[in-house]
Amino acid sequence: MFTAERVADKKDWIKGETGDWEVIIGLEVHAQVASKSKLFSSSSTAYGSEPNSQVSLVDAGMPGMLPVVNEFCVEQAVKTGLGLNAKINLFSRFDRKNYFYVDLPQGYQISQFEFPVVGEGEIDILPIDADGNVGDEVAVGIERLHLEQDAGKSVHDLSPDETYVDLNRCGVALMEIVSKPDMRSPEEASAYVEKLRGIVRALGTCDGDMEKGNLRADVNVSVRKPGGELGTRCEIKNVNSMRFIRQAINYEARRHIEIIEAGGTIDQETRLFDSIKGETRTMRSKEDAHDYRYFPDPDLLPLKLEQSFVDRIKSELPEMPDARKARFMTEYGLPEYDARILTADATKADFYEAVAKGRDAKIASNWTMVELFGALNKADLELEESPVSADMLGGLLDRIADDTISGKIAKQVFERMFNGEGSADEIIEAQGLKQVTDMGAIETMVQMVIDDNPDQAAAAKENPKLIGFFVGQVMKASQGKANPQAVNKVLREKLGL
């Protein structure tokens, strides 16, 4: 039985005509198991293949075809459960969930109902609002994780009169991670999904690609007066981005409030989110468990795991995001913000560590987060697609550290690197960008600037801030190649500051 004892912070209350309301949110996240074959057949799970090219007789629901459990998928589910600090059930069972879809040829889905492979767990999240403000840590309970097979795909936009069916996805292994209704704002919900994605990516159990549908969420929303009785919930199916999750919750909560305050009642139903209109719409009335006529699958024996099997998986777990974040703060001396951003995703964390190895950790963090991530966002590229590798970025930082180039010139070099013009050393050499560090040459340039500006030179003794003018003139004369520290040193000596 779900309960929702926690009351939302007042800043998250929603104002209605009759007073304040709070939204109660629970999520069912479907994470596609990172496996080369399906849950009950040997068919490939490769993305982007020709329609209906990866379908076995089992996937197609042919009479007499028997499913065989993919042990690797079970292992991935157990690993994920351990990453969620959840109980691993040594006994679990597959059940048939009966319903009709044209892309579900068996006429039922093999899932786990009464005895899931993973039981209760908990993860901590940090909600972040639209202005980047970090809220208080929230503990979100995990109700269960169970394995089930995915359905196929119905395609409605190839013909005005026909629906096309692609069964490639049919039978692909999914982990359904069911939260408790512990979230009280859209920001908490998206932070929860972000945290889950970071965990499964760190574990390697799901690639977390929401655009491909490999991680998607069913969002359960209800409203109540703060601390009051739980309201009737509606489920919003298959939401596949953090932004859409927040938009769907905002719209649905306000829809509930408007209906209730007008004297109406909320129908328990399943809805779809229209990302173009920014609103939800009815899909079907919400089924309860008895509507699916669950019963144990007669073709599959119960799963009975040995504790040694679980212990082995636990001993091989990689470093988890929270532990890595703590290590980044202690080992590299990073502030909480940097460590949180860099460890939210295993790929980002690995990239940063490669850049930071043997270098100034904070400078490595700044260049990774500000310059590289900023350029990738602007180009709409993922980190895996970056034209600048960790070794290349590290090489650029080495040239800053040994005074070959200044930080200002380094940004120009980085832009050329990002555009595919080569490594930092190649660009510096080809463009003649080496920093002038010869003190004799710098002194000559400084003296020339002083001689050209005698009035400012005389006034500098009374107004030391004028040194900035002279630094700018020297840098201009050197085309930005003079070492700024050396320029400052020589100027102070010659101006008597």
Q: Which pLDDT score, from 0 to 100, does residue 473 have?
A: 80
Amino acid residing at 338: D
- Which residue pairs from 306-311 have beta carbons closer than 8 angstroms and sit at least 24 positions apart in sequence? 306/90, 307/90, 309/75, 309/78, 310/78, 310/82, 310/88, 310/90
- Rounded Cα distance, 205 and 76, in Å: 5
Higher pLDDT, 155 or 23: 23
Q: Distance between CA atoms of 274 and 191, rounded to whole angstroms?
A: 21
pLDDT above 80 (res 475): no
What is the Cα–Cα distance from 44 to 168, expressed in whole angstroms? 8
- Range in 65-79, 266-280, 320-334, 450-464 with the lowest mean pLDDT: 450-464
Tell me how far apart the terminal alpha carbons of the chain are, to the nearest angstrom: 75
pLDDT, tens only, 207-227: 999 988 899 999 999 999 999
Structure tokens at 338: 């940097």
CA distances from 413 to 367, 393, 403, 485 (A): 13, 10, 14, 20
- Is the pTM value of this prediction over 0.95? no
pLDDT in tens, 87-133: 999 999 999 999 888 899 999 999 999 999 999 999 999 998 887 88
Extract the tokens encoding 56. Answer: 């076995």
Q: What is the pLDDT of residues 340-390, one digit of tens each?
A: 999 988 999 999 999 999 999 999 999 999 999 999 999 999 999 999 999
Q: Residue range 66-86: average pLDDT?
A: 97
Structure tokens at 9: 């912070």
Report pLDDT for 405: 83
Longest dimension (CA), the chain: 98
Candidate from 102-111, 153-162, 470-479 with smallest mean pLDDT: 470-479
Residue 135 burial by Cβ neighbours in a 10 Å radius (0-12, 13-18, 19+): middle
Question: Phi and psi dihedrals of 361, rounded to 5?
Answer: -65, -40
One-letter amino acid identity for 363?
I
Averaged confidence pLDDT in the chain: 91
> pLDDT tens digit string along 293-345?
999 999 999 999 999 999 999 999 999 999 999 999 999 999 999 999 999 88
